[in-house]
Structure 1
Amino acid sequence: MIKAIYFKKTDSLDESEGLIKIDFVRHINVIVGPKGGGKSTLFDLLASIKNGYLPSNVIDALKNHGLEFVKAEEFNGETILSSTLSKKNEKDKFNDFYKRNDVIFQDDPIKKDLNKSDDIEKEKYNYAKEIVQKQFDKVSNIINRIQNFYNMIYSLINGSHNSINWANTFNFKKTKDDLNIISHLNFSISKFKSLKDIETKNINKIIENSKEQIGLMKSFKENIDLTSVYKDDKFNSDYQKILGNIIENHNQLTQLLLNRNKLTKKIANVFDAFNIAYIRQINKIKELDYNNQGLKTFEKASKDYFANFAKQIIKLKKIFYELTNTSLEIKFDKEELEHTFLTYKMPQDGVKFDDDFIYDLLKIVLNTPKSEKDLYRWIHENQKETKSKKDFDQNKIINKISKELVNFVQVYADGYDYKTLSLGQRSIYGIKYKLKRSNNQDLFLDQPEDNLDNNTIATTILDLIQERKEQQVFIVTHNANIGILSNPEKVIVADLNNKINPYQEGKISLDKNSNDTTTTFYLEGGFKYLEARYIKAKGEN
C-alpha cells in the first residue's frame, strides 16, 4: 500500500524549497479536479509504481509543469526511489494496464468490449473443447467417417487384390525371344490402355457422326423454310411434327455426347489411379526369379484386380460425397460453464458446419490437392512417392473442431446474450469482471462511471467499492455519487496549473452555512447548485 509520494519542483530557483508530498490512506482515496488538471497523470503514476516502472507520459506531463517524481513510501516502511523504477512508453503502459485486473483505466476496452478480451476468447475455447470431450459421441460420427475415408484412400493406394497371388501367379517359361518378366507384366497394362483408346476412338466417332447429323437436320429445316410457299395446313402440321422430332433427337444426342464424355473422363481417372497402384505391385516383384512355368492366370487376375479397384473407387466416391455434400450438424446436450459473471452455452438448435470445414478436417490427415473437391485429385496427391503419409491424429481433429466451435459459443451475462447488452450494461459487467478477478489486490479506478447512469452507479458501483474494505483503492472521478457516497477517507484535488500547490488535500462539506470546498465545487458544482437540484427534484417552487 502506498502511504505517500514526493515530487520536487524543477523550475524553482530556491534550492531550499522542500518537496511536495501527497499523503494517502489505507482504504479509499478519491482524486478530483478540473479537466486537464493532472488527475489521470497522478493515477497513471500510482498504478505504474505498483508494478515497478514509470511511464513516459507521466514523466513528460510532470516535466511540462515543472515537477519530477522523487520517491514513494509504503505503509510497511519501504521506500521506492524513482531511480529504481524502469521506464516504459505509453503503449507498453496501456498493455500493462489492459492485462492487469487491479486497474480499470479511462479508455479500458473492458468497459465496452469484454467479449474481445483474450481471457474470454481462451475461456470460450476451453469450454468448446470441454464440450467435445464430455460429449464425444456427438462428434465421433464425423471423426469415424473421416477415418474410414482415410483408411480407404490408403487401402486403395497400397493394397493388392486377393485374386492375384503375387508370389505364385506370375511364373513364366523362358520364351525363345527371351522376354523378361516386366514385359509380360506391362502387357496387361498396355491392354487396358488399348481398351481405353478404343473406347475413346468410338466416342470420337460418335461425336463426328452426331455433328454430321445435326448439320443435316439444320439443312433440312432450311429447305423446309425455302419451300414454305407451298405449305398447306396438313403440310404445316407435318412440318411441326418433323421439326419437333428433330429438336428432340438433337437434345437426346447432345445429352448422349455429354454422358459419353463424362464416362470417358471417369474411365481415364480410374485408369490413372489404377495404373499408379498397379505399377507399384509390379515393382514389388520385378526382382524375383520366375523360370519354371508359363503365364497362368495373369490376364484374368489383372482384370479382376482392375474391376475390384474400380469398385473401391465407387465406394470411396460415395463416402467422399456423403462427407462433403451433406451438411454436418451437431446438437449438444445442455452444458453450461460459469466463469465469473459470465455463462457460456452452445446454441440450442445445434451447430452446422459447411463443406469447406470438412475439407479442412481432411487436410489434417491427408496430403491436399489443388482441387479439393475432386476425389481423383485426392487419390493422385496421396499416391505420389514424394509425399510422406500423414498419421491419422484424432486429437488434431478434435482441436480443430473445438476451435471452430468457438465461433458458435454464446456468452451470457445474468441470462442476457452479451452481444445484445447496451454499452452501459457491458461497462458494468466489465468492471465486475475485473474486480472479481482482482481478488485481494489494491485497486486503481480511473472514471469507472463511464457509460453508466447515476442509478447504476449508486446501486452497483458503490457496493463494489465498499466491498474492498481490506484493500487500498484509488479512484479518479467526476461523479458525485462515487466521490462522496463511497465515503472516501482522503480526497486529493489535482490541478497542475496551480504552481503553488498542484496537488492538495480536499474536504467534503455540504454544510450550507460554510463556504464550498474545492471538492464540493468539482463534484457538485457547489452547494448552491446542489440545493437548486434538490428543490427541483422535490417539486418545490
Structure 2
Amino acid sequence: MSTQYNIFKNGSCWLKADFHLHTNADAEFAYSGEQNDFGRQYIEQLRAQEIGIGVITNHNKFDKGEFVSLRKRAKKEGIGLFPGVEFSLKEGIHILIVFDDEWYKGETDHINKFIDNAFYGINNYDKPNYPNSNFNLKEAVEALNKIGLDYFIVLAHIDDTNGLFKELRGRTLEDFIKQEAFEKVLAVQKSANLENYQKLCNFANRKVACVEGSDNAHGGIEAIGNGRVTYIKVGDFNFEALEYALTDSNYRVSPKDKPEIKNSYIKSISFEGGLLDETSINFSPELNTLIGIRGSGKSSILEIIRYTLGIPLSEIAVDPRYKDGLIEHVMKSGGKSIITLVNEHQEEYRIEKIYGQKEDIYKDNILQPNISIDAIFDHPVYFGQKDLSNKDADFESDLIQRLIGTRLRPVQSRISNKKREIESLISDLKKLQNLNSLKKETETLIENSKHQLKIYKEKGVEEKLKQQTHFDSDISKITQFHSGIANYVQDLKSLISEHDYFFQQEISGSELNSDLFEEIDQIKIELKIEFDKIKKVLESSNAIQEKVKVVLSKIHGKKEGLKEEFAKIKREINTDTINPDNFLKLNRQIETARLKLKEIEKSEAKRTELKQSLQKCLSDLNNFWLEEYKLLKAEVDRINDADSKLTIEVLFKDRRDKFMDRLKQVFRGSGIRESAYHEIESTYKDFIEIYKDSSKLNSILNENQVVEFKRRFSEYLDDLLTYKVDNKIIIKYNNKSLDKHSLGQRASALILFLLAQRENNVLIIDQPEDDLDNQTIYDEVIKELKKIKGNMQFIFATHNANIPVLGDSEKVIACSYDEKTMMAHSGTIDNHQTQRYIVDIMEGGDEAFNRRKNIYSIWNIDKIRK
C-alpha cells in the first residue's frame, strides 16, 4: 500500500502547501552538495517541514528530467509535487503558472514550448536579472489557452519587488485586474497588506485565494518551509484537486493554522463473512456520502453501523422489520462487523460484533470487558430511510430524545432505579395485603379453641394435663427465641459479607494531597477496628446460639423423661367423650395463634412503614420527572437561542391523549362513560395523584364503578404508579406547528435543525434529500453543511449528486450489489476513479452528463432570470 494512498485513506485532508519552490535547475539556487544526492536531500527537507503539496516554479525555466525525478521521490513520501514556472510578464510582474501534468508528458514538452515562445529573441531569460517576457498577462493567457491544456496562475510576492502592487498603480492596476485574462488568476502569494488585498478582490469582483511559498532560490534546500504557511485541503495529488481548492478557498484554503478536527467520529467499518466479507470502509471525520443505484447496499451499511454501535431502532421508525432484515441479509449467520471509533479525547477504540451476539470493545488491542459503548463514545444521531418525513404523533419527542438523550441519561437512570424501588415496595405490600382477614381468622381460631377447652376445664382435665401443656408452651417459646437469634446471626453475617471488601481496598491519591490521604488512612484504621468488633460480636453470638440449642435440647429431653408419666395421665382421662390429645392440640393452636398475632402486628407495622416508603418514593419519582423536564427545557431553550426558524416548546406531563388512552386500556369494560374518562383526565395529572387522593372519584363515578376502579387500580398498581405521562413537545417552523407543513418544508426544517445542533458529533441520515427540492438542498442544506465541517461528522446515503459534489464530500463510497456479493469503492471527491462513479451512478453516464452540460452552456442565464 503506497504512502499516498494512506494519506487520503480517511478522505480529503489538510496539507501544508508551498506554491513557490525553486530547485537546483534554477540559476540562483544555492546548493553545494553532491549532485546525485540533491533529490534525496530536497525531498527530506520537504518532509521535515511537513510540506505535503509543493509547486516547482523556477525562474522562466522548467527542467522536465529533474521534475520527474523529484516527483517520483516525493510520491513515495506522500508528497504531491506540481509542475510550474515563475514567469516574468512584460509589465515586470512575476507570476507563478501551475500546469496540469499533460503539459510535459508525451513527446512534446509544452511548458518549455510556451517559455521559448514567450522569450523569443531574448537571451539568458532564465538568468538573473531575469528579463521581462514578450507577453503581458493577456498575451500570456492567449498563448497558454492556444495550447489547450489546463493551468492556473498565482501572482507571486504581490507586495514585494516584481509583485503586482510594486509594479502597477492607480488606473493601470485596476485595468490589469479587471481584464478578462485575470480570470485565470486563482491566488496571490505572500499577501501581507490587507488594504492591497481587499482592493484586488474588489476590482476582481471575487475572492482570490491567499497562498504562501518559500521562494527559496537564494537559501537553497535549507530555506524550504521558511516563513508563513498555507494549508490546502485536497483528496488527491492531481491538478484538478489543487485548482478546485483555490476556487473554493473559503473551505479549502487555510492561512497560518491547520484546521483541527474537533468532533469524535467513526473512523472505519470492516466486515468478516456475509455479503461484504473482507470489505473495509474508511470514513472521513467530515462529510461521507454513500452513493449507488437503488438496492446497491447503501442503507444496509448504515443499518449495520447503527446495529454495531447498539443504537436501537426508534419505536416510531419507519418499516423497522425491513431495516432489521437488511442487517441479517448482509451479515449472514456468523458474520462480524468491526467499527473503529475516535472519541473527543482522540482515543481510539474498536467495536467487534458478531451477528446476534453482544459486542466486544477493545482499546490498544486489549479487551475491555466491563465497559459499554456509552462509556467511550456518544451515540450518533441516526435517521434511517424515510424517518425524517415520519408524521407519527411521537416524532417530536423521539427527535429531541435522539438529539439530547445522552444529557438526560443520569436523571433517567435515577428514574429507572426509583421505578424498580417502587415496584419492589408494591410487591412487598401485596404480600401483606391480606393481613386484616388473616388477623381476624387467627383471633377467631383462638376464641374457638378457648370455647372448646371449657369442657376440659369442667371435667378437670386442664389441671391434670397442666404440666404437659406448660411443657409444650415453653418449648414453643424457646424455639421462637432460637429462631430470632438465628435471624440476628444471619443478618450479622450478611452485614460483614457485604462490607468486608470495602476494608480490603487500598485508598491512594496524588502526591498533591498526600497529607489528606494520610488522614483518610487513619480514619479507615479506626473504622476497621469498629468493624472487627462486629466480627467478634458475630463469634460470640454464634456461641450464644449454640447455648440456646443446648437449652432447647434439654427441655426436649426433660419432656421425654416424663413421657411415661404423661401417657399414664392420658390413659386415666381417656373416655369416649374426652380425648386428652385433642386438649393438648387446642392449647398448641392457641399458643401458635398468639405467636402468629404477634407476627401479624409486626407485619402491620411493616406495612405502614412500606406505605410511608412508597409515598416517599412516589414523591421522589415525581421530582425526578420534574428534574428531567427542567433539563430538557434547558436544552430546548439553548436550541431556541440559536435563533433558528425552528423553535421548540416543552410542556410538563401534557400528553393528555396518552394518559386518556392508558385510562381506557386499564379500565375497559368497567362501565365508565366517555365523559367520566375526560373528567378523570382533567381532574388528575397522573395515576400517582389518583393513588394519593381517590376521594374525588366518588363525585365522578357511581358506587359500583368506584369499587371496580379501585380493584383494577390495585391489580395494576406497580404499572400505573410508574407510568409517566409524557411531556408534550411542540416543534414549530416559522411559527407554525411542524405537522402542519408539507413533507418538503418539514424535511428541510428538520435537516437544518439537525445541522444546527453543535453538541452532537456524528449525524447519520439515509437519503436526507428525500422530499427536498434541489434548490433547498443547495441554498440551505449544503451551504450550512460546509460551514460545520470539522465540528461534526456526516455519513449520508444519497441519490442526489448535489450532496457529494456541491457539498465537496471528503469521502465518497460507491456501493454495488449483484445478488451474491456487495462491493464498496471508497475514494475522495478529488479522485478520478471516484468521479467516474459519480458520473455513472448519479448523472446517468458520460452521454447524459455531457448532453446536460452542453444544454446548460447554451442557455443564457441572464435571459432565464428575466
**Which TM-score bucket, shorter chain as reference?**
0.3 to 0.5
Higher RCO, 1 or 2 (CA under 8 Å, sep at least 6)?
Answer: 1
Normalising by structure 1, we get a TM-score of 0.42
